[in-house]
Chains A and B, each alone.
Chain A
Amino acid sequence: MPNRSSGPRVGLFVTCLADMFRPSVAFATVKLLEQAGCQVEVPERQTCCGQPAFNSGDRKTTADIARQTIDAFDGYEYVVGPSGSCIGMLHYYPEVFDPSDRYYQRALELKNRSFEITSFLFDVIGMDSLQEQLKQLQFNHKVTYHDSCSGLRQLGIKQQPRELLAQVEGVELEEMEEAETCCGFGGTFCVKYPEISNRMVSNKTDYISNTGAHTVLGGDLGCLLNMAGKLKREGKTIEARHIVEVLAGMTDIPAIGEADYDLAQQL
């Protein structure tokens, strides 16, 4: 339903993994933004942030995709997405252009108004406007939180998801050992060096198990697909979810990699 609020106009950066694997994460993000009073729109001309090209050394494709994304999100007060990694990529756009390029300034300007969802909610919207909604939620489980690398080290996201979670009734956060260590996903790394990636994600699932948590939460679907896939392969029953699913009260949807869920029948 079109939102008629008078709050800031926000362009949703869907991210390709939410688009293809877990649309419910993008819907949860929309719900949270609308609850915060934003008018949310989804620009049609977005695809991927371009990180696979950037990290493979293909500067030309990276610049092409950056220009496309900059154009697609022109005019929005904020650009918000459910991933520290993809929003972090948007923050790299100024590096992609020569300062004399007309897209350079626009890239800088996009960087300044792009936010990962938990950081947008906590740092921009502010707790005062959110508390009432969050207090109505309930998630009666012990959870542990994985800090994804780009969100943590590039965007400084650490306290924001924890502060938001703390408002939800029933959530008991048990920190895992090495929460800040990479899970081994790394985009194409996990298929280029599968054995090393496997060791890293095995360490991670051990740390997750050691907490006795019912659910592992995170802010990036790349890491979550990796950790969920490993937990399932190991036969563990620990669930994996994106944090926005909890914050938007959408935990009735099966967790990542859990039994059948047909989006078409839910909408």
Chain B
Amino acid sequence: MQINTPFFKQRAHDALHDANLQKALGNLKAGFPEKRAIAVSRMPEFEELRNQGRDLKNHIMEHLDLYLEQFEAKVIENGGHVHWARTTDDANQIILDICKQVDAKTVTKGKSMVTEEIGLNDFLEANGIQPVETDLGEYILQLRHDHPSHIIAPAIHLNLEDVSEAFHANHHRPKSMDPAVLMQEAREVLREKFVAADVGITGANFCVAESGSTIIVTNEGNGDLTQTLPKTHIVVTSIEKVVPTLEDMTLFLRLLARSATGQEFSVYNTLSTGPRREGDQDGPENFHVVLVDNGRSEMVGTEFQDMLRCIRCSACMNHCPVYGAVGGHSYGWVYPGPMGSVLTPQMIGIEKGGMLPNASTFCGKCESVCPVKIPLPKLMRHWREDEFEKHLQPKAARYGLAGWAFLAKRPALYKPYTRMASWLMKTWAGKNGRIKKLPLAGGWTDWRDMPAPQGKTFMQAWKEQQKAGEQP
């Protein structure tokens, strides 16, 4: 997928001026966070579950190799295949090879952010295979040649008119603005695709080491049709999704649904354990799991290991005031919001991704709602440290910081300097009590007034007061 992250500021500017997008973001803000709050309030032990989730994920990351190998052995025992993909290119090639083996013309796809990460759709199309997204949001995006702006509500940036137009242009049916009619239309069109598909590709929310199972969590049921109807099912997922046992998986399912949509449980929780066995009524003949690394193993043992706990619930972006202002496309690559601001520099490089960990006030709301307590602001700060060491920050910011640091480390110089700065600003403001325009501070005064200082610094006034008090 094309990387537009370096243009974050321009994209954010456009997003702030896009009335339709702003309306959609307003709905998001009122939707998911409120539902999550209700779900959490109904579960007194939720905080304890978060601790358990954090601790269990930490344990898994300490023994990642062990659980992955156990998972692989179990999948093979069940009659399936496991493929290890170190890079996105490796992953795409593996998937293409499997498709070619079964002479696939079309593949249906369940919703998967990892396939966005590896750019699978474009790769398959370039190789003559037609992928069909079956999650309603993803399907709409595919018709519009668009990309997800949110990891669980991919088309959140669109409105009814957009959907209506996309369906009318592609389905050649009368244009409708009735959501129920549009839904039915999508069902009818997709039903044919489900039946015709040679291969079904899904992601996995978790991979269970003890049973060799993968699970997908959906609310539409499209994933079930995607993975049970075609002869071949390919699960494309990433290495940090492994959990030791089925019981461990249920802990994360409880955390995931509540954190994501405020549901107690998602509508469909579908486990896949190998290909169809003798006596099974349905299921694929071939079962493949592609385990994508793409930089994740490099995070193990580093300050970014905590990020591998992420279960992709989207609570961080749902509660993020920056995401809420500019939407997911501003972030310019696959993963938006706070989790994207940590993950993106790892995957595309800090040189291209540096804008994102800086686009945070460190308000900490993301960390406070994360189901596995990832210290997202701290991890964004680590990226800033990486940038600082590599001198990647803009010159003005670096010199400004260096000048300030020089003074802040020298109290004897700092005091006269602050006295002068206070006096200057006070004089500049005159009798108004505030400054409308301040040279070198346009970032502030273009948008808001600068309240004027009171004239003296506290250190100065305090000293004078103490002196006056000592006099007889």
The answer on a CB contact under 8 Å between B454 and A56 is no
The answer on a CB contact under 8 Å between B431 and A230 is no
Indicate the size class of the contact surface on chain A: 35 or more
The answer on a CB contact under 8 Å between B456 and A263 is yes
Q: Give CA–CA (A262, B464) in the complex, Å.
A: 15
Question: Contacting B447 at CB < 8 Å: which of A150, A233, A258?
Answer: A233
Q: Given A57-B381, A57-B385, A57-B388: A47 and B408 within 8 A (CB)?
A: yes
Q: Given A149-B361, A186-B361, A198-B447: A61 and B405 within 8 A (CB)?
A: yes
Question: Contacting B451 at CB < 8 Å: which of A1, A48, A54, A256?
Answer: A256
Chain B 410-422 per-residue mask, 1 if CB under 8 angstroms from chain A, else 0: 0100100010011
Interface of A: prevailing SS: helix
Which residues of the partner chain A approach B401 to less than 8 Å between Cβ atoms?
A: 52-53, 56, 58, 61
The answer on a CB contact under 8 Å between B397 and A188 is yes
From A232, which residue of chain B is reached at the shortest CB distance?
B449
Q: Given A182-B365, A189-B361: A2 and B466 within 8 A (CB)?
A: yes
Which residues of the partner chain B approach A218 to less than 8 Å between Cβ atoms?
A: none
Q: Give CA–CA (A42, B384) in the complex, Å.
A: 33
Which residues of the partner chain B approach A193 to less than 8 Å between Cβ atoms?
A: 9, 12, 322, 358-359
Segment at the B interface, from A21-29, A100-108, A110-118, A130-138: A21-29
The answer on a CB contact under 8 Å between A56 and B397 is yes
Q: Give CA–CA (A24, B407) in the complex, Å.
A: 24
The answer on a CB contact under 8 Å between B447 and A267 is no
The answer on a CB contact under 8 Å between B444 and A232 is no
Which residues of the partner chain B approach A68 to less than 8 Å between Cβ atoms?
A: 409, 411
The answer on a CB contact under 8 Å between B405 and A257 is no
From B319, which residue of chain A is reached at the shortest CB distance?
A181
Min distance, Cβ A263 to any Cβ of chain B, angstroms: 4
Which residues of the partner chain A approach B387 to less than 8 Å between Cβ atoms?
A: 57
**Known contacts A65-B408, A184-B361, A190-B444; 14 further A-B pairs (Cβ under 8 A):** A20-B418, A20-B422, A27-B458, A42-B462, A47-B408, A47-B409, A61-B408, A191-B441, A198-B447, A203-B321, A229-B448, A233-B449, A257-B434, A260-B430
Partner-B contacts on A (CB < 8 A): 1-2, 14, 16, 18-24, 26-27, 42, 44-48, 50, 52-59, 61, 64-65, 68, 149-150, 153-154, 180-182, 184-201, 203, 225-226, 228-230, 232-233, 254, 256-264, 267
